[in-house]
Amino acid sequence: MKKKILAVLGSGGHTAQMLKLLNLFGDKYVYEYLINDDDLVTRKKISGKIYTLPNPRVFNENIFLKIIKTIYGFFKSINILIKSKPYAILSAGPGLTISLFYAAKLLGKKLIFLESWCRVNTKSVSGRFCYPISDLFFIQWKDLKKLYPKAIYAGRLSWF
């Protein structure tokens, strides 16, 4: 029986990176997906079981609402993880990863994080929160080893 991976897809570049990575993995795993509840574009690019969480990083919302969404996302993540029963969670760093990773850590799931290819010299917000609890943390630029000393330099996913 194939192991199940819950892949976190953000909008835009996060989704592009994750779909590229899953394509490289091929059919070795069963995939389920987690997306923002307001992401209509990503939904059209995937097939399979899809779970949603509220987008915690809507840019024009106030900080109080973002915090409430993140807390709600944590509790909803527990429910998603109980239903999905994934072997591991794989993320390329969208904001909804943070609440999911902390819920997954609480439930003993394997956590794999790939810092975004746009992060050359600085940490992402998600990377800052997920690095300490990730089982595997990959970076795509060697310079990030200074900021994430325990990370694994994996090279960059191709744009093509």
Domains of the chain: 4-153 (3.40.50.2000)
Q: What is the pLDDT of residues 59-89, one digit of tens each?
A: 677 888 888 888 999 999 999 999 999 999 9
The model's pLDDT over 89-136, given as tens digits with 9 standing for 90+, comes to 999 887 889 999 999 999 999 999 998 766 667 778 888 899 999 999
The burial of 122, by beta-carbon neighbours within 10 Å (0-12 exposed, 13-18 middle, 19 or more buried), is given as: exposed
Contact 102, 133 (CB under 8 A): yes
